[in-house]
Amino acid sequence: MSPLPNPLPDAEAQCRQLAELIRPQLHKNPALVGIFSGGAWIAERLKTLLALEEDIGMIDVSFYRDDFAEKGLHPQCRPTAIPFDVEGRHIILVDDVLYTGRTTRAAINELFDYGRPASVAMAVLADRGGRELPIGATYCVWDVALQDGENLVLGRQEDGQLAWRLENA
């Protein structure tokens, strides 16, 4: 893990790097599924960068979180939309930051409600470590170490560009 650079990396450039990591797997005709919200934004970018014709899927894991009873419903809960048959497909699950693995576990649980994929790979822009579950990224462009109480947040600016910001808890 590398220390947090100042300024933070260019998220748009990282999306291009991530697309190049995924490109060799296009022969498997993978389907992209983004986790709301940052992962959905990245999946949209990847669809364009990889010139994929098929619509991407989007998952909101709010109801599948193991801490749902503790945290309640997120105020920006969105419906899951998977516009393709999951059964037998190679799925690339996309998120912005991989941390404990709990969001990824919730997304995989929901994905299996739609069918049994042939495989599920994980693509993220940033891996901050701190895993609580045995989950890892197949494709990642940035391993980063954060201090306790720091959160890395991907946002979408007014012009639609993606950008990182650091928040203190």
Residue that wins the pLDDT comparison between 122 and 74: 122
**Dihedral angle of Cα 137, 48, 160, 58, to the nearest 10 degrees:** -50
Is pLDDT at 148 greater than 90 in this prediction? no
What pLDDT was estimated at residue 66? 52
Rounded Cα distance between 23 and 19, Å, is 6
Cβ neighbours of residue 159 closer than 8 Å, sequence gap 6 or more:
none
CA nearest to 34, candidates 63, 58, 65, 64: 58
What pLDDT was estimated at residue 69? 47
pLDDT band at 64 (very low <50, low <70, confident <90, very high): low
114: tokens are: 């739609």
What pLDDT was estimated at residue 79? 85
Secondary structure string (H, E, C) spanning 128-140: CCCCCCCCCCCEE
Cβ–Cβ < 8 Å for 105, 135: yes
Map out the domains of the chain as residue ranges.
11-66+82-163
Q: The CATH number of 11-66+82-163 is which of 3.40.50.2020, 3.30.70.3270, 3.30.360.10, 3.40.50.150? A: 3.40.50.2020
- The overall average pLDDT reported for the chain is 91
What pLDDT was estimated at residue 73? 47
Structure confidence by residue, pLDDT tens digits, 112-143:
999 999 999 999 999 999 999 999 999 999 99
